[in-house]
Amino acid sequence: MNVLELDDVRLDLPSKHGDRTLLRGVSLSLAPGEALGLVGESGSGKSMTLRTVLRTEPAGARVTGRVLLDGRDVRTLGAADLRRVRADAIAMISQNPRAALNPVLRVARFLVEGLCDARGESREAATRRARDLLAQVGIADVDRCMASYPHQLSGGMLQRVVIAAAVASAPRLLLADEPTTALDVTTQSEVMAILDGQRREHGMAMLFVTHDLELASAVCDRIAVLYAGEIVEIATPAQLHAAPRHPYTRLLLDSRPNIAARVPALPVIPGRPIAAYEVEGGCAFAARCPWAAPRCEREEPALVHDAGRTTRCLRAGELADELAGAPADDAAGVSGAPAETGRDGETEARA
Amino acid sequence: MTAQALERPAVRRRGGDLADRLGPLGLAAVAVVALITLAALCAPLITSHDPAIGSVIERYQGPSAEHLLGTDQSGRDLLARLLYGARTSLLGAAVVVLLAGAGGALLALVAAWFGRTVDALVGRVLDLLFAFPNLLLAILAVAVFGTGLGQVTVALAIAYVPYTARVLRSVALRERRLGYVQAAELQGLSGLVVSVRHILPNIAPQILTGAAINFGYAMIDLAALSFLGLGVQPPTADWGLMVSQGKDSLLQGHAQQSVFAGVCIVVAVAAFSVIGERLGGRKAGGRA
């Protein structure tokens, strides 16, 4: 059975100007021990997808569809069951470790009390386990770390502490929301390696939200690309890089900076990323898609599973060869069109 | 996004250098409070007189070697009465502050944790309590339960709850929305555990600050109630009661009892207020 299964999850947030749709039917599944990357621009619904799993969506949000954790629908759990699921089955690692730790508690108290409170372990056992865990996440001076307050530790150290706390309960599912975004690049790779190692060691499935396509490719078994609150493509990193099936994925890949080649201006995806509630019939990406055909504006593409690939594009079949392989500057003329750099520069910097 | 996350001043200045925060005036206030407390505790060591027994023959005496501050209308030693009076005055105010702080923190945590309806309900109940002047509430309690220090202390504590609860609620609400509280919730901890283990330590400075400021007000209110004859009953020594009992002597030209007791009240209240304001002064909205 899959650890996690999202089945047509929609999220609407009522506001003064009517309902705002944030997720337009997200479906995905995670096998035990599998790592799935969720990639997309800001506002595409990556974090919101995680929040529906944890039941921490914004107040007043209406969520439909099913979120199955080991076959049980998380959305219908009672308060006590939800607490148990959060304590035992799911762990969350957030973007900013500094915000995730209580500023007035020493690391030792944070870890030990977490273990005692959530899992009913004895103090001695919990202390021993906390020390083990800190050693496992690569903290050299366990004593000093245990005795420190959060403000005395660096961001990298803190994220290790958070990872230690997350794997402490040996959860089935690890939710990581850009766990390395707040860290500097060298620390980033260290922390990511530790997270990945711990995940494999404990056989946890991971849902990994990130802007960083490279990072997702490095640690994930499959990558799901989100656009405007829906999944447009799911593929293995190899497939994704060699032959993306969705134009948006192609353009995302092209807009990454490349160390090897110096370019006068980075290619950007023309237009601005639209929010889920702005989609009105047709393909959500049609307005920015260089390959858009007239029918893309009218027909809403469905998520098609075909030969191990999952894509949401009406022209996926026709475009397969064109999208594969070649970098876009000779494929579709999306190289840094000077007129469109301006504000859109954000798009590729964040994606 | 990254830059924001890094630059956010996540580490709040806590505790810091206490002496630095208090300043010279604050330190002097702390010294005064310590002196009063010490005097109250060591009353039997400082004077050999019984505060409740006097000789009528020795009434209205001026300061002398035997009675350092003179005697009152019943010939009781004023110094002894001031020293023992400090006990009742401090203890009463301490109990008020303690109960009000605990009640306020409890309401604040409940309101912050559940939010929405519960928060609104707590808010309205507090508004209701606010509508009654403190002394009126205490007088009501006396009317129902009879006179005595215990009754007015509890009544006053209830009257003080809205002041502490309102400030603490806003602080607790702010903490409630912070990442660490949500992270703790996502670890599957119950609301009770998160509130007590995580939120309470983070609002402790505001609880203490509020307590220090309220201490002074509680002393004044208790003294006023004693003055009105509703609180501490004679022959127990109490500063408020002493001011009251001294007012008859005042007309006969013996001002010392009311004046000494009054000075004691003013000095103690001022000291507590200074400490409270120094502690809370550099916190936004930290006034109780």
**What was the pLDDT predicted at A327?**
52
Q: How far is CA A264 from CA A64, A178, A259, A337, A338, in A?
A: 46, 29, 13, 11, 10
More confident site: B91 or B7: B91
Rounded (10°) angle between helices B200-227 and B239-251: 30
Q: Does residue A278 contact residue A228 with C-beta atoms inside 8 Å? A: yes
Q: Touching check for A103 and chain B: CB below 8 Å? A: yes
Cα A241 to Cα A245: distance, rounded to the nearest angstrom: 10
Half-sphere exposure of B222 (CA within 13 A, CB side): 35
In degrees and rounded to multiples of 5, residue B65 shows phi and psi of -60, -35
Q: What is the pLDDT of residue B168?
A: 93
Both tokens assigned to A127: 């202390």
A88 and A137 together in one domain: yes
From the list B116, B180, B190, the residue facing A102 with the nearest CB is: B180
Using an 8 Å Cβ cutoff, are B104 and B163 in contact?
A: yes
A230 inside domain: no
A79 contacts on B by Cβ (under 8 Å) = none
pLDDT tens, position by position, B194-223: 898 889 988 988 898 888 888 888 888 888
Same structural domain for residues A167 and A286?
no
| Structural domains of chain B in order of their starting residue, each with its CATH number | 22-45+73-281 (1.10.3720.10)
Is the CB of B186 inside 8 Å of chain A's CB atoms?
yes
Answer with the one of A163, A194, A224 that is the final residue of a domain. Answer: A224
Q: Are residues A242 and A297 in the same domain?
A: yes
* Crossing angle for the helix pair B256-281 and B239-251, to the nearest 10 degrees: 140
Nearest CB among B10, B190, B201 relative to A104 is that of B201
| Look-up of token digits 């007012």 | B247
Residue A94 lies in a domain: yes
**Does some domain include residue A288?**
yes
Contact B197 A165 (CB under 8 A): no
**What's the pLDDT score for residue B281?**
63
Let me know whether A279 and A202 are in one domain: no
If asked whether residues A245 and A205 sit together in one domain, one would say: no
Residue A326 pLDDT? 53
- Secondary structure (DSSP) of A229-256: TEEEEEE-HHHHHH---SHHHHHHHHTS
- Got the DSSP string for B217-231? HHHHHHHHHHHTTSS
Q: Average pLDDT of chain B?
A: 81
Q: What is the pLDDT of residue B94?
A: 92
Q: Is residue A211 part of a domain?
A: yes
Identify whether residues A50 and A163 lie together within a single domain: yes
Same domain? For A159 and A208 the reply is yes
Q: Supply the DSSP string of B121-150, one letter for each residue.
A: HHHHHHHHHHTS-HHHHHHHHHHHH-SSHH
pLDDT tens track for A77-122: 888 899 888 888 898 888 888 888 888 889 988 888 878 876 677 8
Report how far residue A143's alpha carbon sits from residue A108's, in angstroms, rounded to the nearest whole number: 9
The closest CB to that of A118, out of B2, B14, B188, belongs to B188
What CATH number should be reported for the domain holding residue A83?
A: 3.40.50.300
The answer to whether position A153 is within a domain reads yes
Residues in chain A closer than 8 A to B202 (CB atoms): 102-104
Considering the domain boundaries, does residue A244 fall inside one? yes
What is the percent of chain B with per-residue pLDDT over 70, rounded to a whole number?
91
Residues of A whose CB is below 8 A from B182: 56
Beta-bridge partner residues of A305: A310
Residue B276 has pLDDT above 90, yes or no: no
B16 in A contact zone (CB under 8 Å): no
Residues of the domain holding A16:
4-224
Using an 8 Å CB-CB cutoff, list chain A residues near B5. 95-96, 99, 181-182
Considering the domain architecture, whether residues A242 and A127 belong to the same structural domain is answered as no
A254 in the same domain as A115: no
Min Cα distance B285 → chain A (Å) is: 20
Note the pLDDT of residue A56: 87
Percent of chain B with pLDDT over 90: 16
Contact indicator for A296, A319 with CB cutoff of 8 Å: no
| Number of Cβ within a 10 Å radius of residue B177 | 10
Distance to chain B for A324, nearest Cα, Å = 32
Residue A347 has a pLDDT of 43
Same domain, A209 and A322: no
Q: Could you read off the pLDDT of A54-82 as tens digits, one per residue?
A: 888 888 889 999 999 988 898 888 888 99
A229 belongs to a structural domain = no
User: Do A109 and A195 belong to one domain?
Assistant: yes
Measured in angstroms, the CA of B219 and the nearest CA of chain A are apart by 32
Q: Which of B6, B11, B182 minimises the CB distance to A182?
A: B6
> By the 8 A CB rule, do A136 and A129 touch?
no
Q: For chain A, what is the domain count?
A: 2
The CA distance from A279 to the nearest CA of chain B, in Å, is 25
Report residues of chain A scoring pLDDT below 70.
118-119, 325-351
What's the confidence (pLDDT) of residue B120? Answer: 92
Can you give the three-state secondary structure of B6-50, one letter per residue? HHCCCCCCCCCCHHHHHHHHHHHHHHHHHHHHHHHHCHHHHCCCC
Q: Is A101 on the interface with B (CB under 8 A)?
A: yes
Q: State which of A180, A203, A224 marks the end of a domain.
A: A224
Is A57 domain-assigned? yes
Q: What is the pLDDT of residues B37-82, one digit of tens each?
A: 888 888 788 777 777 777 777 777 777 777 777 777 777 888 888 8
Q: What is the pLDDT of residues B134-191, one digit of tens each?
A: 888 888 888 888 888 888 888 889 889 999 999 999 999 999 888 888 888 888 888 8
Domain stops at, among A199, A224, A249: A224
In the prediction, which pLDDT does B6 show? 41
User: For position A341, what pLDDT does the model report?
Assistant: 39
Based on the domain organization, do A307 and A268 belong to the same domain?
Answer: yes
Q: Between chains, do A113 and B14 touch, taking CB under 8 Å as contact?
A: no
